[in-house]
Chain A
Amino acid sequence: MKTTFIGLAALAVIAVGCAATQPLPSSQELDQKALTVIKASFREQGIAKLDRLDQDLGQRACSSDKPPGADVAQQVETAALATIKWPVDGRYLGDWKEGEKLAQNGRGATWTDKADAANGGSCYNCHQIGKAELSFGTIGPSLYNYGKLRGVADPASPTSAPIVQYTWGKLWNSKAYAACSNMPRFGHAALLTQDQIRDVMALLLDPRSPVNQ
C-alpha cells in the first residue's frame, strides 16, 4: 500500500517533468497548429476579409524558409502563365505620366482603404524607376533605363515584342516567371486595371519616359 503510494507519487513527478521535456510536435503537426493559430487570430476589418488567409497553390508553396521543389515551382509558373490576360486590342502602352503617378502611389487594398478607391502600383516601394525620385526601395531590381537597356527604341516594332510582352506578363502575374516572386500579381489579383497596367508599361518602355532618358 505504502509502496504503491510512493510509486504513484514518483509517476506524478515523472509526468510533470515530461510536460517540460516532451519532444515537440512533428513538423506537420506544427504546420497544422500554426494554421489554426493564424485563422483564430485574425478578424475581418473593412475590405480586408478573412478569405485573404485562404492560400492558393503558389502562396502555399512559397510559405516556408525553403523554396519549393523544381516540380512544384514549375507547376505554379505554368498555372500562373495561363492566367495572364493579354490586351485584346494589342495596345500595350498608355501614358507614362499616369504610370509615374501609379508607381509613386502605395495606397490601396488595406483595411483602411475604401472598396471603390483606385489602387496605386507601389512600384517605388521596391524599385528604383525614374532618376528624379531618390526615395526608392531595393527589394526589386532597379528599373531605371528599363526599356533603353533592353534596346526598346520603338515599343511597337516586332523586335520589341518579346520584351514588351514579357513586361506585360510580369506585371499581370509575376509568378509566371518566378514561382515565389516577391512582386504582387497586379493584373491577376485585380490590383490594377488593364489601363493602369498600360500606363505603368509606358513608364518602363516608352522612349519618351524619363525612365529611358
Chain B
Amino acid sequence: MQTRRDMLSHSAKLAAMLAAVGMLPTLASAQAAGYNAAAFDAKTIPDLMKALGGGAPVESKDVTVTGPDIAENGAVVPIGAATALPGVKRMLLLVEKNPSVLTAIFDVTDAVDSNFATRVKMGQSSDVYAVAMMNDGKVLFAKKEIKVTLGGCGG
C-alpha cells in the first residue's frame, strides 16, 4: 500500500525537517524550494500554519472566498480566493473537513492579481477558506460554508 507519506519528495522531506527546526519561513518564500508535502499533509489549520510558517489567521473583510452555497456534487466544487490588498505573498484555498485541509497554494507576484479560482473535491459539507498570507507576516482569511448534496439515484 502506498500512502502519500511514502511519496514525499526528497526536497519535501528536507522542507519538513527544516520546518521542524523553525527554518521554513525563509524556505517557503523561495519559490524554487519545491513541493511542501508537510503542508499538504496537515489535518488542521493550526498544523497547516505551522507547516507554512504562518501566524494565527485573522478573519478579514478584505479577503473574499467565492463558491456556491450548495454543490450538486462534491467531486467538483468551484471555489475562489481573492483580495485587493497590496503586499500579498501567497493565497491559499482550504477545505476544513477534507482529509487534508490544504487544497492549493498560489504564489503571488507583481504580475498577477491576487485572485485565483479553481475547482475542488469535497468529501462532505464544510467551511471553505480563502487565506491571504501577507509579506508582513499577517495571515488573513475569509470563509463560507458549502453544503455538499447527494445527487442522482444514489446507486
Contacts and interface: CB of A to CB of B under 8 A. Distances in A.
* A/B: CB atoms within 8 Å of each other: yes
B70 A106 contact: no
Interface in B87-139: none
B155 A106 contact: yes
Interface stretch (B8-16, B17-25, B55-63, B145-153): B145-153
Contacts of B150: 104, 124, 135
Interface residues of B, number: 9
**A: contact size bracket:** 10 to 19
11 contacts: A104-B150, A104-B154, A106-B153, A106-B155, A122-B153, A122-B155, A124-B150, A125-B153, A134-B70, A134-B149, A135-B151
Interface centre among A110, A113, A125 (most CB of B within 10 A): A125
A118 B152 CA distance: 20
Nearest to B148: A135
Contacts of A120: 154
A108 interface: yes
A112 to B, nearest CB: 8
A45 to B, nearest CB: 14
A107 B153 CA distance: 8
Nearest to A109: B155
A141 B136 CA distance: 58
A105 interface: yes
B154 A107 contact: yes
Contacts of B155: 106-108, 110, 113, 122
B8 to A, nearest CB: 36
Nearest to B154: A106
Contacts of A108: 155
Interface in A92-151: 104-108, 110, 113, 120, 122, 124-125, 134-135
B50 to A, nearest CB: 36
A135 B149 contact: yes
B154 A134 contact: no
Contacts of B151: 135
Given A104-B154, A107-B154, A125-B153, 9 more contacts: A105-B154, A106-B152, A106-B154, A107-B155, A113-B155, A122-B155, A125-B154, A135-B149, A135-B151
- Chain A CB count within 10 A is highest, among B70, B147, B152, B155, for B155
A122 B155 CA distance: 9
B70 A122 contact: no
Contacts of B152: 106
